[in-house]
Amino acid sequence: INRKVLMSEVAIIIPARMESSRFPRKPLAKLLGREMILHVLDRVTEVANKEITFVATDSLEISQLVEKSGFQVVMTGDHPTGTDRLAEANRIINARFVINIQGDEPAFNPDDVLTSIEFLKNTGFAAITGFCSATGDLEFQDSNTIKLAYSRGNRLLYISRASIPGSKKRNVSNFFRHVCMYGYTSDALSNFAEMPRGTFELIEDHELLRFVENDIPVGVVELSDWSVPVDLPGDIALAEKQLKDKFFLDNFVD
């Protein structure tokens, strides 16, 4: 990949926190001998310059590692969601468009960053996210796999940990899996931070529903199915396999 994004109006921000209840210290967990947060940065900077790439964190330990590795950090306070953290970070960065890459997505397709930027800038949505087609009943029933439904105009209808769409016959053969890449205008982030957390947002534990509950359209764009989110320690082996298969990586040496 030799395309590079360098636009003063765009920032790519990776929110990272140390205290995950299901996987403490997750950003510093090693995959193939390299910390997960650095893998995420490696993927981003295949298509974007370091000048527009930032990690937003409240952890001094994460900050020190990221800066030592030659990347930029914005220190933030503690926040209930990654998007709230982005909103604070962008008050400092002041980008017109913000792409949010999750800090636990070490094996996403870098081209998805460019697709998301183009979709955000050209469709008029103030907030966007990704999806891919998926199959498999185990994944469909898994509450850690986020599913979504969308309209013909590529507008998010609902996003859920539940098995949607449901069927009386229970014979759903395929569904749409959420790909955890987001995009926001600066105004959308500012508005998000001012809105109280919503009923469904709290039940589902998914901040995009704060926009949905406030009647703010969220656009959805089809992205690659490469993504292997690391929710639990057991997911590391799956992500490492994807890093080897898609990026031909081997063990990093300290």
Segment 32-66, tens digit of pLDDT:
999 999 999 999 999 999 999 999 999 999 999 99
Contact 184, 123 (CB under 8 A): no
Query: Rounded to 5 degrees, what angle do the CA atoms 240, 129, 207 make?
Result: 95
Q: Is pTM, for the whole model, over 0.85?
A: yes
Predicted confidence at residue 148, as pLDDT, reads 97
Predicted confidence at residue 167, as pLDDT, reads 82
197-231 pLDDT, tens per residue? 999 999 999 999 999 999 999 999 999 999 998 98
Average pLDDT, the chain: 93
Contact 176, 132 (CB under 8 A): yes
- The half-sphere exposure of 118 on its side-chain side, counting CA atoms within 13 A, is 8
Across the range 7-17, mean pLDDT stands at 88
Contact 99, 12 (CB under 8 A): yes
Contact 48, 5 (CB under 8 A): yes
Q: 112 vs 100, 115, 196, CA distance in Å?
A: 11, 5, 30
pLDDT > 80? residue 169 = no
Helix (H) or strand (E) holding 37: helix 36-44
71-107 pLDDT, tens per residue? 999 999 999 999 999 999 999 999 999 999 999 999 9
CB atoms closer than 10 angstroms to residue 49: 13
